[in-house]
Amino acid sequence: MFRKVIFTALAMILGVAIFSAVAKDKEAPVSSQTTAMVGQAAPDFALTAADGKSYSLSSFKGKYVILEWVNFDCPFVKKHYGSGNMPKMQKMMADNGVVWLSICSSAPGKQGHFAGKELMERMKAEGYAAMAYLIDADGKVGRMYDAKTTPHMFVIDPKGMLIYAGAIDDRPTTKFEDIKGAANYIQAALESSQAGKEVTTRNTVPYGCSVKY
Amino acid sequence: MDKLRLIISTILCLLISGGVFLHAESDRVGHVRAELTAESPAIYPGQSFLISLKLKVDDGWHIYWRNPGDAGAPPSIDWKLPPGFSTGEIMWPYPERILLPPLTNFGYEGEVSLLSEITAPLDLKPGDKITLNAIADWLVCKEVCIPERADLNLTLNIADGKTIPNSPHPEDFTNAKALLPIPAGDWNISGEYNDTVIIFTLTAPDWFDGRLSTVDFFPYNRGVVANSLIPTLTREGQSYQLSISRDMRVHYLPDKLNGILTTPSGWRGPDSEKAMEISVEMKPVNFVADTEGVSNLGIALLFAFLGGLILNLMPCVLPVLSLKIFSIINQANQSRRTSVVHGFIFSLGVIVSFWILAGGLLILQAGGQSLGWGFQLQSPAFLVILSSFLFLFALSLLGVFEIGQTIPGRLAQTTREGYPGSFLNGVMATILATPCTAPFMGSALGYSLSQPPVISLLIFTFLGIGMAMPFVILSAFPGLLRFLPKPGQWMETLKHIMGFLLMGTILWLAWVLSLQAGADAVIMLLAALLLLSFGAWLRGRWGNLALGRIKRLTSAAAFAFLITLGLTVGLYGIDRTERRPDTSDSIIGQGIKWESYSPDRLSELRQSGRIIFVDFTAAWCLSCQVNERVAFGSDEVQNKFAELNVAAIKADWTSRDENITRALAAHGRNSVPLYILYYPGVATPVILPEILTPGIVLKELNSIANKPSTM
């Protein structure tokens, strides 16, 4: 009888110990923003666009999404807009059902930060042809994605996974003539992924001007 | 003004060179003044000589080194030379770090000379003049960047080679050459790397009697190092270790790493050259300073066995363990043979499940996935299935229905579970054990990582054998049962208590699920459990043997239907829920401010000179939870952390995370918990045991006074 009581008591103590270990109150979360890494889910964000509408990444689940860090006054960005390369790609991607979001993380007062009418006029002048130009004035989304340069490109697949991060192509210059013949990493990543293949070049070093945080 | 300066400098040049014709052009473009100068005003046939592209950059602006760092682009020179002339690459003076937080660039401010070596052909006629043309392109940045270009000419006289003319600007070229990296020469440099860091070991030559203060590294290629993190130097006698953080995103590393090392101390002693060019073969290595490091198979197998044995005492296995003891008590009256067979089948259940786990792990790893011990608990679907299974089991323990209801009468009483039951018990014990890592186990599993599949399986087998061993012994020697109470009514009570204990386990699994897939998934899981309980009740109410065959069959069909429906609902709940970024807050530790792990953040902190504690944990890892509550709940530990300003980092592996899997692998592990302490200036971290107490943490932190501090 004595042994039965001891054994039952022991079992109960163990049970209580485990419960208390598990069910104890939790502290408020202390989580800093995680950085976007290729092969992992792309962190979600919501930003206001030039047209005043709000866009969130998660609302495009099921589609390919391209993120482009932009600063119209950066010579490396000028190379791609001035030559018509960027608008051409933006149109082509839109025709293929790919969502293209440009993000400007320039802080107010720094180069590349535009708003309102001035921005709309500038977009028109640049031949801007993507879905939305998003304003990230406090640089939060830029830091979340560890965006370093303009341009800095990211490709996200329909499942929301980041499949490419880095440069737009393999010619890190400001010269218009270098666009012809350059290997475009964005197109390559999209083509492989859409064909169901592994993306071979998943990370490259982005080139351009520093993002003006 | 500039024009005037140009004229004056040109006149000066002419005067200094003693009337020899020399035409140098200075071109002011935007924010840079560019000029071509020659080391000597005249050249002779066949001579190799240096030409300098001198760039004078406006205050506050900068141009870039060959590897510009996070942004920017290096200058380039396009030479147009007379026939027969040839030119070498730009000789780059060492750069400085240009900080634009959060970015870092490598480049130059003020004045910089880019030297190029040009070789003249042999068939030149003394007395003639030649003109060298260079189109120089550069990007100059302050906040903003501007590409600039200069078209520069330099006319030189051709001498006969007998008289060597004096240099018009001797000091210019001497200064420029002093900024070029010298060859490594007598310095012996070897390189090692793991997933996060590159470590150079620099051994000073015998004649070097200086002492290096700090050393910086600039690789020739981009994407190799985390540009914004400054390397740390530690000294060990005549050799130094330089620890450099890798670029975690691009993660590029050539077999042979080329770049330059710089030190303000000078590589040949004080006031000597500050930069040295290196080309180092890189070897992979695990920087593990583990006292229980496993290096051979025998020890790995022993550790696996011991780990399995201790696994039985881990909180996650206890409910099943109690049940097992319970069934052994039940079987005490049977023949010894039956009892041994039960023990054997239980072990088989354990070992087979370990094989399945190991097999799954190996196959997924071969498929390129970064996974480790406990990986199945990172899957919400698995959590739903496991919870459902445990819930049914708990209901059965509580007597809502009998799992063995179809087994007739008296037989069911004695061998309640039968042989399949024993096997299932083994499977259950293993599944429940996965959230736990016992002492010894981490090292053994870590060792299995680097081994061929057969060895991995062998190590898992020993884990299983270790875990099953107590029951095999107990079954084989029923005499030992003397020490346990006799079977009776109390066992029914205990069974019910175990049922509630399992419900507690489900509570915990639901919490893990909520962290992985959010509240919606948990609500769907609860709905699934409701359906299951309804099914179990139907089965218990109308599945009784005393009732008619039709009723029994109907209840069985309804039961099966409701299980299927329940599981579908539970799994549907996950599909519907977006997997949100993990914001797990599984750590209790009032007073300790935990930061989330990221390789960059860790490297950053490692530069800061603080002590860093990294806690590799997961919500589903019960040992982790217990350790954290015990060790970090202690006031003394919290005070110590505050006193020493310890940076606390939590690497939460609740959901899959390649960064954390990689970091674990870098320490020879693929399981949590893992506790690591980094001391400033010490390359290799200290690894604390898997069972953590306040005493262990305090003892380690108190020993800081005895650690060599090089910072």
User: For B200-242, how does the pLDDT look when each residue is reduced to its tens digit (9 = 90+)?
Assistant: 999 988 888 888 888 999 999 999 998 988 888 888 777 888 9
Nearest-Cα residue of chain A relative to residue B512: A22
Nearest-Cα residue of chain B relative to residue A58: B578
pLDDT over 70 (residue B5) = no
Across all residues in chain B, what is the average pLDDT? 79
d(CA B101, CA B143): 12
Q: What is the pLDDT of residue A1?
A: 39
Q: Which two tokens stand for residue A133?
A: 């130009």
Q: Is A158 on the interface with B (CB under 8 A)?
A: no
Q: Is B451 on the interface with A (CB under 8 A)?
A: no
Q: Is B691 on the interface with A (CB under 8 A)?
A: no
Residue pLDDT, tens place only, B154-183: 998 888 766 666 666 777 888 899 999 999
Which of B70, B103, B594 shows the shortest C-beta gap to A30?
B594
Write out chain A residues lying below 8 Å of B586, CB-based.
26
Residue A25, classed as helix, strand or coil, is: coil
Q: Is B560 on the interface with A (CB under 8 A)?
A: no
| Residue of B61, B66, B70 to mutate for A, most A C-beta atoms under 10 A | B70
Write out chain B residues lying below 8 Å of A35, CB-based.
598, 600
Which residues, including other chains, have CB under 8 Å from residue B199's CB and lie 6 or more apart? B191, B192, B193, B241, B242, B243, B244, B287, B683
Output phi, psi for A142, to 5 deg.
Answer: -60, -45
Residue pLDDT, tens place only, A44-92: 999 999 989 999 999 999 999 999 999 999 999 999 999 999 999 999 9
Q: What is the pLDDT of residue A151?
A: 95
d(CA A163, CA A157): 7
Q: What is the pLDDT of residue B319?
A: 63
More confident residue, B693 or B58: B58
Q: What is the pLDDT of residue A25?
A: 28
Helices (H), B95-187: 170-178
Kindly state the average pLDDT of the residues B631-655.
86
Q: What is the pLDDT of residue A185?
A: 94
Percent of chain B with pLDDT over 70: 80
Residue pLDDT, tens place only, A128-146: 999 999 999 999 999 899 9
Kindly state the average pLDDT of the residues A79-106.
94
Peptide bond into A151 cis (omega under 30): yes
**Antiparallel, parallel or unpaired: β B232-236 and A149-150:** unpaired
pLDDT over 70 (residue B342) = yes
Q: Is B659 on the interface with A (CB under 8 A)?
A: yes
Q: Is A195 on the interface with B (CB under 8 A)?
A: no
| Residue of B98, B143, B378, B620 to mutate for A, most A C-beta atoms under 10 A | B143
Q: What is the pLDDT of residue A32?
A: 34
- Model confidence at A163, pLDDT cuts 50, 70, 90, reads very high
Give Cα B323 to chain centroid, integer Å. 40
Q: Range with the lowest mean pLDDT among A29-33, B308-312, B526-530? A: A29-33
d(CA B590, CA A27): 7
Write out chain B residues lying below 8 Å of A15, CB-based.
497, 500-501, 504
d(CA A181, CA A165): 21
- Model confidence at B316, pLDDT cuts 50, 70, 90, reads low
Write out chain B residues lying below 8 Å of A205, CB-based.
222-223, 247, 250, 252
Distance from CA of A21 to the nearest CA of B (A): 6
Which of A3, A111, A207 shows the shortest C-beta gap to B144?
A111
B617 beta partners: B652
CB contact under 8 A, B497 and A15: yes
d(CA A160, CA A141): 16
Identify residue A53 by its one-letter amino acid code.
Answer: K
Q: What is the pLDDT of residue B367?
A: 59
Nearest-Cα residue of chain B relative to residue A1: B485
Q: What is the pLDDT of residue B409?
A: 37
Q: Range with the lowest mean pLDDT among A8-17, B132-141, B293-302? A: A8-17
CB contacts under 8 A, A 22-61 vs B, are 22-32, 34-35, 37-41, 43-44, 58, 61
pLDDT over 70 (residue B439) = no
pLDDT over 60 (residue B444) = yes
Write out chain B residues lying below 8 Å of A160, CB-based.
578
Q: Is B485 on the interface with A (CB under 8 A)?
A: yes
Q: Is A210 on the interface with B (CB under 8 A)?
A: yes
CB contact under 8 A, A34 and B598: yes
Which of B103, B600, B626 shows the shortest C-beta gap to A21?
B626
CB contact under 8 A, A22 and B596: no
The most confident of the ranges A24-28, A183-187, B417-421 is A183-187
Other CB atoms within 10 Å distance of the CB of residue B309: 19
More confident residue, B707 or B164: B164
d(CA B32, CA B141): 11
Percent of chain A with pLDDT over 90: 64
Q: Which residues of B438-457 are buried (b: 16+ CB within 10 A; e: fewer)?
A: bbbbbbbbbbbbeeeeeebb
More confident residue, B386 or B527: B527
Q: What is the DSSP string of B245-267?
A: EB-TTT----SEEEEEEE-TT-B
Residue pLDDT, tens place only, B363-375: 776 655 555 666 6
Q: Is B248 on the interface with A (CB under 8 A)?
A: yes
Q: What is the pLDDT of residue B492?
A: 77
Percent of chain B with pLDDT over 90: 21
- Model confidence at B11, pLDDT cuts 50, 70, 90, reads very low
Q: Is A83 on the interface with B (CB under 8 A)?
A: no
Which residues, including other chains, have CB under 8 Å from residue B212's CB and lie 6 or more apart? B202, B204, B233, B235, B240, B263, B265
Kindly state the average pLDDT of the residues B438-444.
71
d(CA B577, CA B200): 47
Q: Is A10 on the interface with B (CB under 8 A)?
A: no
d(CA B292, CA B299): 10
Kindly state the average pLDDT of the residues A151-180.
92
Kindly state the average pLDDT of the residues A186-199.
91
- Taking CA atoms, B23 is separated from B38, B41, B211, in Å, by 10, 9, 45
Helices (H), B199-296: none
pTM of the model: 0.56
Which of A7, A166, A173 shows the shortest C-beta gap to B250?
A166
- Model confidence at A27, pLDDT cuts 50, 70, 90, reads very low
Distance from CA of A183 to the nearest CA of B (A): 18
Write out chain A residues lying below 8 Å of B657, CB-based.
40
DSSP tag of B597:
-
Residue pLDDT, tens place only, B579-589: 444 444 444 44
Helices (H), chain A: 2-23, 75-82, 85-95, 116-126, 140-144, 185-194
Other CB atoms within 10 Å distance of the CB of residue B12: 12
- Model confidence at B63, pLDDT cuts 50, 70, 90, reads very high
Distance from CA of B349 to the nearest CA of A (A): 24
pLDDT over 80 (residue B280) = yes
Q: What is the ipTM metric for this complex?
A: 0.77
Residue pLDDT, tens place only, B521-580: 899 999 999 999 999 888 888 876 667 778 878 888 888 888 888 888 888 877 655 444
Q: Range with the lowest mean pLDDT among A97-101, B211-215, B662-666? A: B662-666
Q: Which two tokens stand for residue B643?
A: 């006193």
- Model confidence at B503, pLDDT cuts 50, 70, 90, reads confident
Q: Is B489 on the interface with A (CB under 8 A)?
A: no
